[in-house]
Amino acid sequence: MQKQKLVMVGNGMAGVKTLEELLKHAPDCFDITVFGAEPHGNYNRILLSPVLAGEMTLPDIMLNDLDWYRDNGITLHAGRKVVEINRARRTVRADDGTEVAYDRLLLATGSVPFILPVPGKDLPGVIAYRDIADTEAMIDAARHHRHAVVIGAGLLGLEAANGLILRGMEVTVVHLGGWIMERQLDKSAADMLQASLEAKGMKFCLQAQTAELVAADSGRVGAVRLKDGTELAADLVVMAAGIRPSTSLAESARLLCDRGIVVTDTLQTVTDPRVYAVGECANHRGTAYGLVAPLFDQAKVCANHLAGFGIGRYEGSVTSTKLKVTGVDVFSAGDFQGGADCDEIVLHDRAGGVYKKLVLKDDKLAGAVMVGDTADGAWYFQLVREGKDVSEMRDHLMFGQSFTQSQLGDAGHQGQSQAALLPDSAEICGCNGVCKGTIVKTIREKGLFTLEEVKKHTKASSSCGSCTGLVEQILASTVGGAYQSTDKYAKPVCGCTEHTHGEVREAIRQHKLLSIPDTMRALEWSTPNGCATCRPALNYYLISTWPFEAEDDPQSRFINERAHANIQKDGTYSVVPRMWGGLTTPDELRAIADAAEKYKVPTVKVTGGQRIDLLGVKKADLPLIWSDLNAAGMVSGHAYGKSLRTVKTCVGMEHCRFGTQLAMDLGVKLEKMLFGMWSPHKVKLAVSGCPRNCAESGIKDVGIIGVDSGYELYVAGNGGIKTEVAQFFCKVGSDEEVMEYGGAFLQLYREEAYYLERTCHYIERVGLEHAKKRVVEDVANRKALYERLLFALKDAPDPWAEQRTAPLVRNYQTIDLNNSSGDRHGLAETVSS
């Protein structure tokens, strides 16, 4: 099969990141040609400032040298600028006459600096600050000249001014605005930063407009004349007044441009679907991004579509800014300016050099800005991005993550905010003996931006994971705005793939994948058999999406599910027969007692789920004890499964003088309806016959509380390590409605939640209102969800059919998913008849 031709115009970070992702997904799909205007490989533009300051050199910031292009079969035309795109013939032509045909065209032309249209703008010594050539020109000017003026007090201007001061120049910053970095800081934060910069020699002219650049006798620029007549000596003038998306090439090809090349959520241009655009040149939903993190997000989606998967969508990014200017840490995220409808919490310690402002709106953190102490920046940014309700932590919020979590009883991440204060010699990862200095050096040398990349190159956070928070904080403080923070399910499923849970699930649904091998082939798994993390997830996604047709893979179940019992710390097993709704009979109790005596079970315990647990059963006795219990009509309680565990009940109106509804009767109905249900994680229900709530319905995945007029339904509760109180879902009038509404909610959870995501975390991710709209408000959708649940439970292959029939001889040839090595082993369980 002949390869398609992909041509990329532009050789910057966003474009090359797209190629890197494409080579991971489909290395043999395209013949790739790259045109870059600069005579270099791909380098890290974020680190130009350390190069200017003398802290790094050009080789230090290279991300992809020329050898990388050759090794990956990419034709690189370095130092050649594309001047024409012929969309009718599908060709591009460079300024040296080189012409290349394409099937797909990727525009990654970046941005161009805005040059003030003032007299003298073309004089020698007037430069922008955008690339390596600009940086080298500034370094050369600092060797021979003394006075510099930087026009613009944004991020780039202050970094240029700082680098030139460190090179020995006297620098004045001219800025049109009322305070510096007005896009990243409010006035109080800017004033504090300005005072710190002035103390180190930087001078400022604010609310000043440049009128003219005046030539010296040598013909080189000699001064900057302001509109008020003031003249500032200037042997070097650096224009840092902003950037504009580079769209001239796209415009000449008649692609729609409006403050950038207009693209869709798939990064295809709206004019021509064969042409893609990523990076600073692209306008997505009215926004052209200038920070690395959203550009890399675009690159991943674009590569996904070029590879032919078509399952990714870029929906925009919430960004933050974190930088260090002459040793002063600065952070901002979200709407930090606030307004009449917002509350502000402010800490202003001028003497201590610390300023923090948190902006709250509707019990959520809307924005944050900090100077001096930015250790909790990553945490605040996470709260802004997730839109989490912070009302309970409001009184502690200003004091950071560690203090807030300690006050709320969560000490799990108290070390994160201290990472920026640690010395380079501090050990971060005790499992692998990695210190902070090693992590920082590796991030800078290899151009790392994500936690997964740091794990790969340093092994920090790759073992027990207890240092993950510290590593993420170090990463954020090292690369600033380029930091790519991801939540658990936005990361790859495991090391066998680059795909997230959402991408895998969507691919299975969209391409009707029916087996684990099919899925691994379609998504180009990097390992032939997967691992203990991805195989159970894939198996669940397959059988929950296609209950009729998907192949259920016994090898992808953990030992607990294969043995139909929970393994204990001493190697014995716990056997829990099901008691429907917590009800039992003398015959069932007698069968349990007989089994306990016959197999010398050392411990018999009543569980919190109103069942009886037989603890200490030997592995060899498991098929025998289940055979005896099955003969008495008892089936597994699935205490080990990602499935329905229990439906806890109170005695209800059947016996209790306070009861308003038949709790036990409804509990049995629910448990029998949901028996055998696969789910992303364990599911627990409870039915209380009155508002006294004796069955603890308020901390269950689905909780039902009887009232005089019917039932109240609560969802997304959790009584585990961190108790989550269930949220009110709806009120219904009958048992049948409880089963319909509750079943529809569980089916929505089954279809949308990720593997090992509890209902409380699922609702936290998608929002309770989403579930209410799909189940409570949309009648047709609710009934469809309920029908799909009943259909799957009735007609899909029973995952526990083997256990129900209780065969006397079982032979397993499986991958032991509790064994990290993944070795195959045979487990024979044989009994006599």
Binding residues for [4Fe-4S] cluster are 650, 656, 690, 694
Q: Which two tokens stand for residue 421?
A: 């204060």
Nearest to 381 by CA among 358, 362, 404, 403: 358
Which tokens is 745 given? 């909610």
| CA–CA gap between residue 105 and residue 9 (Å, rounded) | 8
User: Residue 592 is which amino acid?
Assistant: I
Binding residues: 650, 656, 690, 694
Enclosing H/E stretch for 400: helix 400-407
What is the rounded distance in angstroms from the CA atom of residue 747 to the CA atom of residue 289?
Answer: 38
Q: What is the DSSP string of 146-160?
A: -EEEEE--SHHHHHH
* Pair 650, 688: CB distance under 8 Å: yes
The Cα 613–Cα 631 span in angstroms is 18
- Say if strands 603-606 and 612-617 run parallel, antiparallel, or are unpaired: antiparallel
Q: What CA–CA distance (Å, rounded) separates 602 from 613?
A: 11
Cα separation, 374 vs 459, whole angstroms: 26
Q: Which residue has the tokens 């003249």?
A: 231
Q: Contact, 222 vs 243, CB < 8 A?
A: no
Give the closest residue to 322 by CA, choosing from 386, 382, 374, 368. 374
Which positions make up the binding site for siroheme?
Answer: 694
Q: Which two tokens stand for residue 356?
A: 């923090």
Could you write out the DSSP letters of every residue in 530-570?
--TTHHHHHHHHHHHH-TTTSPP-GGGS-HHHHHTSEE-TT
Beta partners for residue 160, in sequence order: none
Q: Is 1 exposed, middle or buried (0-12, 13-18, 19+ CB in 10 A)?
A: exposed
Pairing type for strands 236-239 and 147-151 reads: parallel
Strands 364-371 and 354-361: antiparallel
**First-to-last CA distance in the chain?**
59
